Amino acid sequence: MAGYHSGMDAFTTLITVASLIAGAFFLTDGSLTTTDLVTFLLYINNFTEPVGKLVNFTEQFQNGYSGYDRFLEMMSIAPDIKDAPDAMALDQVEGEIRFEDVSFHYEDGAEAVLSHVNLEVKPGEYVALVGSSGAGKTTLCSLIPRFYDVSQGAIYLDGKDIRKIKLKDLRRQIGIVQQDVYLFAGTIMENIRYGKPDATDEEVIRAAKAANAHDFIMEMPADYDTDIGQRGVKLSGGQKQRLSIARAFLKNPPILIFDEATSALDNESEKVVQESLERLAANRTTFVIAHRLSTIRNARRILVLTEEGIAEEGTHRELLEQDGIYARLCEAGL
């Protein structure tokens, strides 16, 4: 398409130069007046302008068609995770999660990220996951909403194999708060409502208050109608996290996953966000992945993951007394 533009520019320049040369010749022998020459040049412009518009339109059309073609290509990709033919609907959920001899590797033949994990989490239990980088903490939690399927074994939700539950119903029961919060271009109200599209304004505001977000929202130029820009560029890290937590409050799921939700925050922001997270986790089955001791110290159950699976389990005090992997992680600042 760049060739079209270059050719069009050269064509216009050539016609203009040729007209000026010819016009000068005819002016010299008196067969053309200056007015006639100016008029002729204006006609040339009237001729070339539509051609230029046509070239621009053709370029825009080709760009649009290429984008549409890529969109169709993307939409034609079949998802790796699908509903089973006999997948069941899910209504009332208590929140019991059970891993039964679960192993996982990302590719066939690759080294296992998780090996023979057996774990039972009661409804409403708060479980913290710690371990060195690559131990499989995030992977383990990603298996619960079926972002990946287990390579071996099974995961059960309230006694039902999650592979036999409709994906939409399964993921509706799970709220996720991550370090990298995705916010889209739009208002604060619209971004929070993403957690429950049919929520009323009053429900959104209640969720924001529960997430310690209402006060800073009311200080924004248009409070809940303030546009936050793509990915929330107009907000601080702590403000973004509180909007993400407000979404989770609005969704009101029985199961929560906090994936390093406070690791990128300063101490002051972390304190506010941590308070919101603890309020959100009350009476919900909660999995917490953290690199800061402050986020897991009070957990009633801490699991220490290694490449071989769950190496240690207990409270903060119990694990310190064992003087094992957890104690060394604490000494290193987790």
**pLDDT of 222 higher than 90:** yes
Query: How far separated are the first and last CA of the chain, in Å rounded?
Result: 55
CA–CA separation, 39 and 123 (whole Å): 85
pLDDT digits (tens, 9 = 90+) for 115-161: 899 999 999 999 999 988 888 899 999 999 999 999 999 999 999 99
Sequence letter at residue 297? R
Please list the alpha-helical segments (H only) found in the chain: 2-28, 34-75, 137-143, 167-172, 188-193, 201-210, 214-218, 237-251, 267-281, 316-322, 325-331
Q: Are 226 and 167 in contact, with CB atoms under 8 Å apart?
A: no
Contacts of 131 (CB under 8 A, 6+ apart): 137, 304, 305, 306, 325, 329
pTM: 0.75
Give the pLDDT band (50/70/90) at residue 92: confident
Q: What is the pLDDT of residue 2?
A: 53
176 φ/ψ sector (left φ>0, alpha ψ -120 to 50, else beta): beta
Q: Cα 197 vs. chain centroid, distance in angstroms?
A: 17
Instruction: Specify the 3-state DSSP secondary structure of 253.
Output: coil
User: Of 162, 46, 152, nearest to 97 (Cα)?
Assistant: 162
Domain 97-331 classified CATH 3.40.50.300?
Answer: yes
Structure-block tokens of residue 98: 């059970």
CA–CA separation, 323 and 87 (whole Å): 45
Lowest mean pLDDT segment, chosen from 48-62, 106-120, 168-182, 301-315: 48-62
pLDDT digits (tens, 9 = 90+) for 297-315: 778 899 999 888 889 999 9
Query: The tokens 């994906």 sit on which residue?
Result: 167
Contacts of 139 (CB under 8 A, 6+ apart): 104, 113, 114, 148
Strand (E) or helix (H) holding 175: strand 174-178
Q: Are 195 and 244 in contact, with CB atoms under 8 Å apart?
A: no
User: Of 307, 311, 315, 314, nearest to 325 (Cα)?
Assistant: 311
pLDDT digits (tens, 9 = 90+) for 229-282: 888 888 888 888 889 989 999 999 999 998 877 766 667 777 877 888 888 888
pLDDT digits (tens, 9 = 90+) for 4-32: 566 666 777 777 777 778 777 777 877 77
Instruction: Specify the 3-state DSSP secondary structure of 87.
Output: coil
Query: The tokens 């016009």 sit on which residue?
Result: 23
Q: Determine how many CB atoms are found less than 10 A away from the CB of residue 147.
A: 14
